[in-house]
Chains A and B, each alone.
Chain A
Amino acid sequence: MSSNTTINRQDFLKTCGAACLGVVSFSALLTSCKSVYYAQMPVLKGNVIEVSRKEFDAVSKKGEVSIRPFILVEMKGQSFPIYLYRRSDTDYSAVLMKCSHQGNELNAHDGHLTCPAHGSEYDANGKVTEGPAEKNLTAYRVTADPQTITIHIA
C-alpha cells in the first residue's frame, strides 16, 4: 500500500530540525569517541608476538601523553584479537577475546570483557565474573622489557 500523507509546514520544519540536531550531535559524539585501540605494529616472531611499549601511549592533539589501560592486538589472519591489559609498567596480562560460552567475540572495556551475546563477563585476567560462561578465557604469558611487551602464544 502506498501512502502519500501530506504534512504541513510546521510538521515538516519540526522533523527537519530534529533530523539536523540528530546529525549534529551524532557527529559530535563520533569525534569525541575514544575508540578501542588496536596495536599498530605488532610483530609475530615464531611463537611470540611483540608489541612496542609505545603503543600504550595515547597522544592527544595538544601533545599530552596519557596511558591507555589496555590495547587490542590483532595480527593478520588472527581468529580473535588479544586483549592486552596493563596492570603496571612491568606487569601485563593477555587473553584471547573469544567467549568461552559459545565463541562470540567479546567487547573490551577497562579491566573487563563482556559478551554481547548472552551477557558473560570476564576480568582482565580472563576469569569469569558473570555466567553463562563457565570456563576462563585463554590466557597467554606476557613478559616486558623497557621497549617491548612479549606475548607468548605457545
Chain B
Amino acid sequence: MKYCLLFCGAFAALPALAQVDTTQNASMNALFGRDTTLRPPNAQLKLNMDATYDRPFLTTGKMPVSVGGYLEANTQYMQTNGVTEGFSFQMRRMTVFLAATINRRIKFLSEIEFEDGTKEINIEFAAMDIQFDQLFNLRGGIIMNPIGSFNQNHDGPKWEFIDRPLSSTRIIPSTWSNVGFGLYGKKYSRDWVWAYEAYLTNGFDDQIIANDQNRTFLPATKANQDRFEESFNGVPLITLKTALKRRKLGEIGLSWMGGVYNKFQDDGLILDERRRVDVWAVDFNTTLPTRTFITGELVWAHINVPPSYTQQFGRKQQGGWIDIVHPIRRGRMLGWNTAALNVALRVERVDYNVDKFNETGENIFDELWSVVPAISFRPSPTTVIRANYRYQWDTDLLGNPPARTAGFQFGFSTYF
C-alpha cells in the first residue's frame, strides 16, 4: 500500500515537474532556438543530392531567418474632366522580407516586391551589411539609393495615403534601387541622432529622355533591367545622404544623387560629352505638441539634355509633397487596444519642366498640383485602412486650362 501511494504520488508530481520544465524551457528555447538541429546527428551519410538541404543554415540548425512583408490593395473610382474609366480594384503590391544574421555583425537583408499582381517582380533590396563600428557599416548588393525620405521609407503600411507621393515617383523614381556598395552609420547622443549614407551604384541610362512620355522622365530608366548587371556607361552613380534628428522634435535630411546618364563613349570612341543628371532632396518630419505629424520632401533635378532635344524636355524639374496627419482618437477602439483614427492631408506638386520658352519667355508649364484629404483607421500601428479623395490639376506644356481629375480611393495596407 505504501509503495502504491508513493507510486501515485510520483505520478501526480510528474506533470507538475513537467510544467516547471516547459515554462523554463519556453524562454530558454526563445534564446537558444538555433540549436534545434533539423537532421539527427547520426544521419551523417551524405550524398551529393543532399547538398540542397545541406546548406549551412539548415545543418547548424540556425533558425534566425526572419520572414515578413507587407501587402497593399485598394479600390478606386476616378474621373478626369467628367470622363471616368469606372470602378477598379487594384492589387498594388506585395513584398516579402527575408533577413538573416550570418555571423557576428554580418547581416543579410532582402525585400522582393510583386507589383500590380505579378506584372513586375523586383528585388528591391538584397544586401549584406558588415558592421565594423556603429559609425561605419559596409553595405553591398542591391541597395535602395538614399535620396529623399520616401525612397527608402516606402512601405505601404507607414502611410495614410494609397498613392505614393507623385514627386517621389515621377522625379525620384521610387522605388529606386541599384547594385552597388557603400557605407552608412549612425551616431547617437542623448537627444540627437546623426546619420549618413554614401553609396556607389549603377545608375541612369538615356531612357530618361528617350522614352514614350515625350518629356524628361527619370523613372523610365527603370525599364533597363540590365542595370543590375552592368552600368550603362561605366560611370557610377553617387548617392550621399545625411540626416540630423532631435528626439521628440523632428528630423531633417539632405541628399544628393548624381551621375552620367548617356553613353558618351563606346569602344574607345567618344560619342558625346558626358551628360549628367543630378538630383537633390530635402526631407523633414516633425511631431507637434498636438500629436500632429508632419512630413515632407522637396526635390530638384538637373538634367543635361542634348540641344538636339526640344525645349519640351525639361532641363530642370522640381516637386515636393507634404503630409499632415492628425490623430483624432487613439486607444481602445472596436476591441483593438492600440487603435488610432486619423485625418490627414497631402498637398503635392510636380513640375516636369521649370524653364521658360526661349522664343516667348513664357513659362513652360507641364506640371501638376494635387490635394488629397484622407481618413485612416489603424487597428494597430502596422495595419492601416484608409480612404482618400484625390483632386488633381494637370497643366500641359502651354498652360492650357488644366485637366481636372478627382475621385475616391479606399484600401488597406498591412505588414504581415
Contacts and interface: CB of A to CB of B under 8 A. Distances in A.
Interface of A: 3-6, 29-30, 33-36, 38, 47, 74-75, 77-82, 96, 99, 101-105, 107-112, 114, 116-119, 129, 131-132, 134, 138, 153-154
B68 A101 contact: yes
Given A77-B34, A132-B158, A35 B133 contact: yes
A119 to B, nearest CB: 7
A5 B382 contact: no
Contacts of A111: 188, 190
Interface centre among A30, A118, A131 (most CB of B within 10 A): A118
Contacts of A74: 104
A47 B24 CA distance: 8
B317 to A, nearest CB: 28
Given A38-B104, A102-B68, A79 B136 contact: no
Contacts of A102: 66-68, 97, 99, 415
Interface string B116-131: 0000000000000101
Interface in B135-176: 136-137, 153, 155, 157-158
Q: Determine chain B's interface SS by DSSP, over half rule.
A: mixed
Contact of A3 (B24, B32, B267, B380): B267
B4 interface: no
A96 B104 CA distance: 15
Interface of B: 23-24, 26-28, 30-35, 63-64, 66-68, 97, 99, 101, 104-105, 107, 109, 129, 131-134, 136-137, 153, 155, 157-158, 186, 188, 190, 193, 234, 247, 265-268, 338, 380-382, 415
A47 B28 contact: yes
B415 A5 contact: no
Contact of B66 (A5, A38, A78, A104): A104
A78 B101 CA distance: 12
A5 to B, nearest CB: 5
Given A132-B381, A134-B381, A109 B132 contact: no
B294 to A, nearest CB: 16
Given A79-B63, A79-B64, A110-B188, A36 B134 contact: yes
Contacts of B338: 134
Contact of A109 (B99, B134, B381): B134
Contact of A96 (B31, B153, B188): B31
A78 B132 contact: no
Contacts of B97: 102, 117-118
A5 B63 contact: no
Given A79-B64, A102-B68, A107 B265 contact: no
Contacts of A114: 186
Contacts of A38: 104
A78 B157 contact: no
Nearest to A6: B268
A111 B247 CA distance: 13
Given A77-B35, A132-B155, A153-B31, A109 B105 contact: no
Given A79-B31, A134-B382, 20 more contacts: A5-B265, A29-B132, A35-B131, A47-B24, A77-B35, A99-B66, A101-B68, A105-B64, A105-B99, A107-B131, A110-B188, A111-B188, A117-B109, A131-B381, A132-B157, A132-B158, A138-B30, A153-B28, A153-B31, A154-B26
A103 B68 CA distance: 8
A103 B338 CA distance: 20
22 contacts: A35-B105, A35-B131, A77-B34, A78-B32, A78-B34, A79-B31, A80-B101, A104-B107, A104-B109, A105-B66, A105-B107, A107-B134, A107-B137, A110-B134, A116-B107, A132-B157, A134-B381, A153-B27, A153-B31, A154-B23, A154-B24, A154-B27
Contacts of B158: 131-132
Nearest to A81: B104
B71 to A, nearest CB: 13
A131 B35 CA distance: 30
Contacts of A153: 27-28, 31
Given A112-B188, A118-B155, A33 B105 contact: no
Contacts of B157: 132
